Amino acid sequence: MTVNNYHHRRRILVTGGAGFLGSHLIDRLLADGNEVLCVDNLFTGTKDNVAHLRDNPNFEFLRHDITEPLQVEVDEIYNLACPASPIHYQYDPVKTIKTSVVGATNMLELAKRLGAKVFQASTSEVYGDPSVHPQVESYWGNVNPIGIRSCYDEGKRCAETLFFDYHRQTGIEIKVIRIFNTYGPRMHRADGRVVSNFIVQALRGEDISIYGDGSQSRSFCYVSDLIDGMVRLMNSRDGFHGPVNIGNPGEFTMLQLAENILDITGSKSQLVFEPLPQDDPRQRKPDITLAQAELGWEPKVALREGLEKTIAYFEKAL
């Protein structure tokens, strides 16, 4: 006998769904048997990222800017909308902070009206240039409130404040994740982030631009690991709101990252050193103790394996 699971299927809103992370999240949610409404204004996202879902009856695309109110009927909300690379979020910094603050408010109001669970994609940038290493969720951060990165850093910090105030004031169920550097297929080739920059430059045989002396460190999480953490957080026990770090605690300098990419691609590109951008963090590494305890989560994809998959994507895309 065929069992009708219609009443068990969730209708899920993903804002920023045509972006790098949003499109991978939608793939996962659809694979889990949900209906997904993808909302994106296509400022940094692209329909190409979700083109393979065009004929999926459980997928719907809506072009909309979440700084404007949205009236839809859904069971859950993942709020990922916001440009996340310095080139994009500094292009229109006022718009960036509005997306984080006004957009978050609109999604929280929608969640309040629907009684829906709502998820906020926050960032390790809330820690700024950290004086605590590795970064734990209880650390309040070291952020310049008036710098060129502040539209993103402080916008995300304010969004976290809004989420917790709405929870305390209205009782809505919230989930807040702090995403550390993530990479993988569908990254924008011109987003200015270090992994895509290095790969594109290596594949084109161009000089690889290293800012500073290359000793600053990052922790790189492959996209499939991040998406698994996001879904685990959304489905975690009621009363656990986060914020929770999701990232790979393996720490690499910029020089080590460049050397890995040069080795995999076989590129003859040369390393060139340029001035470090303003407020660029010197080090970044997540403490994932909370994610391990509450979500049973830890990353599975090593940097070398993830870079090979990402490079294979860019080889076809360029």
User: What φ, ψ does residue 7 adopt, rounded to 5°?
Assistant: -75, -10
Q: Are strands 174-179 and 244-246 parallel, antiparallel or unpaired?
A: parallel
Nearest by Cα to 150 from 79, 96, 225: 96
Please give the angle made by the CA atoms of 134, 137 and 139, to the nearest 5 degrees: 75
Alpha carbons 108 and 46: distance in angstroms, whole number: 25
Q: Annotated catalytic, 6?
A: no
Alpha carbons 142 and 135: distance in angstroms, whole number: 11
Crossing angle between the packed helical segments 303-317 and 254-265, to the nearest 10 degrees: 60
Structure tokens at 186: 């569908």
- Looking at residue 61, its amino acid is F
Alpha carbons 284 and 181: distance in angstroms, whole number: 9
Catalytic residue among 78, 152, 166, 183: 152
In Å, how far from its chain's centre is CA 47?
18
Listed in sequence order, the residues at least 6 apart from 243 whose beta carbon sits closer than 8 Å to its beta carbon are: 122, 137, 160, 176, 177, 178
Give catalytic residue positions.
Answer: 152
